[in-house]
Amino acid sequence: MTLRKDLLDRIGKKSNAVRALFILIVAMLIFATGSAVRAGLDGNASEGQGDEDQGHDVYAIGLWGDFPYSDVQATTGVPNLIADMNSQDLEFTAHDGDLKAGNSTPNSTTPTTCSDALYVQALGYFNSLKAPAIFTPGDNDWTDCDRKSLGVDGVNSLQTLDKERSLFFSTPYTLGQTKFLQEVQSTPACKGYGSSNSNLGSGSDVSMTQTATYTDVPCSENRRWMVGSVMYATLDIQGSCNNLCDTTPSPAEFAARNQADILWMQQSFEEARSRNSAAIMLITQADPGFDLSDGTRAPLRDPKTLAETDGQPDGFQSFLLALRDQVIAFQKPVAYVHGDSHYFRVDKPFQNSKGQRLENFTRVETFGDNQANGTNDVNWLKVLVDPSSREVFAYQPQIVPANRVAVPAP
Task: Give the DSSP per-residue string, 274-325.
Answer: HTT-SEEEEE-S-----SSS-TTTS--B-TTT--B-SSS--SSHHHHHHHHH
Do residues 329 and 269 make contact, with C-beta atoms less than 8 angstroms apart?
A: yes
Res 351: pLDDT: 98
* 121 and 34 inside one domain: no
Answer whether residue 9 is part of any domain.
yes
pTM: 0.84
- Are 321 and 398 contained in the same domain? yes
Question: pLDDT in tens for each of the 410 residues of the chain?
Answer: 443 444 344 434 444 443 444 434 434 433 333 333 323 323 333 333 444 444 458 999 999 999 999 999 999 999 999 999 999 999 999 999 999 999 898 999 999 999 999 999 999 999 999 999 999 999 999 999 988 888 776 678 999 999 999 999 999 999 999 999 999 999 999 999 985 544 333 333 333 444 467 899 999 999 999 999 999 999 999 999 999 998 889 999 999 999 999 999 999 999 999 999 999 999 999 999 999 998 889 999 999 999 999 999 999 999 999 999 999 999 999 999 999 999 999 999 999 999 999 999 999 999 998 778 899 999 999 999 999 999 999 999 999 999 999 999 99
Query: How many domains, in total, are found in the chain?
Result: 2
Is position 180 within any domain?
yes
Question: Do residues 135 and 17 share a domain?
Answer: no
Q: Is residue 408 part of a domain?
A: no
Which CATH number do you get for residue 395? 3.60.21.10
Whether residue 409 lies inside any domain: the answer is no
Residue type at position 332: K
Q: CB–CB of 325/277 below 8 Å?
A: no
Provide the 10 A C-beta neighbour count for residue 93.
25
Domain containing residue 16: 1-47
Reported as a single tens digit per residue, the pLDDT across 123-178 is: 999 999 999 999 999 999 999 998 888 877 667 899 999 999 999 999 999 999 99
Residue of 236, 281, 267, 233 lying closest to 59 (CA atoms)? 281
Single-letter amino acid code for the residue at 260: A
Are residues 14 and 159 both part of a single domain? no
pLDDT 10s digits, 242-292: 999 988 899 999 999 999 999 999 999 999 999 999 999 999 999 999 999
